[in-house]
Structure 1
């Protein structure tokens, strides 16, 4: 169990993350992770079967920074806006050890994509499965696993989910 102050920080972590992604402030995205933090996108079918294959697996904050560089400087794609709708996080477990508090939480998400010259459509739906730790700068992701429901993705995923 966590106290209200910690839960409020957790809510802020989720909402700040979504706002950074929705406002295209990509250079801020890696700062949500600890140095050894991981970010993965995995289809639900693989997750449910215990299969390790992910669409995207970034295994450190440096790899996450490299992804930002790719998004901003090297990837050519049809640009779009995205809007995250994130459910209230559910705390799955809290562990305390010599390294501090480790919160495992989940939240449903929907990402709406709007192309500059088109309609808004549901782009990606699933849930986050996160491990969060307290740092001197506040709560950060040790791991963020985005388990998405559909095997079919309308286009390659460029921006963070």
Structure 2
């Protein structure tokens, strides 16, 4: 599990425009995959041993390890996806993510930290829409010259009031 408590200012900001574009495109592709309900593809955005967590700002700032949703490794992520289609019962809905421009910094060669603010609107099957979640992604991204992969993604929600219907990953 990577330490995501460091500030991005401790690392060198990525200045290579092609690398920055590749990472930004990767982050946008991730949310499009979720927004387009291509959830079986979701684990492919992570390294084999990746960590994924949805938590609140309050818990994150206090250093509390409790998450609303947490997966360690692609295997656990694939199990979660399988449960969505075979075990869980929920009202159909879709997400629409809006992303801020990410701040991307190099931690070590081939390993990058990024912070991206987000808003997610949820539309239910009956057409009702609501602002579902706001917050920030705190990412550790492995990018060794090929396709970037998330090594660690912390989804830090601004509010501790969380709808019980977090079915899909954010």
Q: TM-score, normalised to structure 1's length? A: 0.93
* Counterparts of 2:138 and 2:38, CA distance in 1: 23
* Counterparts of 1:40 and 1:59, CA distance in 2: 9
Which structure 1 residue ranges, 5 or more long, are not aligned? Answer: none
Q: Post-superposition shift, 1:120?
A: 1.0
Q: Post-superposition shift, 1:137?
A: 4.1
What residue is the counterpart of 2:8 in the other structure?
A: none
Q: Post-superposition shift, 1:142?
A: 0.2
Which structure 2 residue ranges, 5 or more long, are not aligned? Answer: 1-12
Do the aligned partners of 2:110 and 2:144 also contact (CA within 8 Å) in 1? no
Q: TM-score, normalised to structure 2's length? A: 0.88
Kindly report the root-mean-square deviation, in angstroms, between the aligned alpha carbons of the 2 structures: 1.2
Which whole-Å deviations, capped at 9, do the CAs of 1:28-65 have from their partners, x for residues lacking one?
11110010011100111001111111111101011111
* Counterparts of 2:156 and 2:102, CA distance in 1: 15
What residue is the counterpart of 1:88 in the other structure?
A: 101
1:107-146 equivalence runs, <5 A: 107-135=116-144, 137-146=146-155
1:21 to 15, 30, 34: 34
What residue is the counterpart of 2:84 in the other structure?
A: 71
* 1:24 alignment partner, SS class: coil
Which whole-Å deviations, capped at 9, do the CAs of 1:2-51 have from their partners, x for residues lacking one?
21111001111111001100011111111100100111001110011111
Q: Post-superposition shift, 1:152?
A: 1.1
| Range moving further from structure 2, 149-158 or 22-31 | 149-158
* Counterparts of 1:95 and 1:81, CA distance in 2: 34
Which whole-Å deviations, capped at 9, do the CAs of 1:129-160 have from their partners, x for residues lacking one?
00000146411100110000111123331001
User: Between Structure 1 and Structure 2, which shows a larger proportion of strand residues?
Assistant: 1
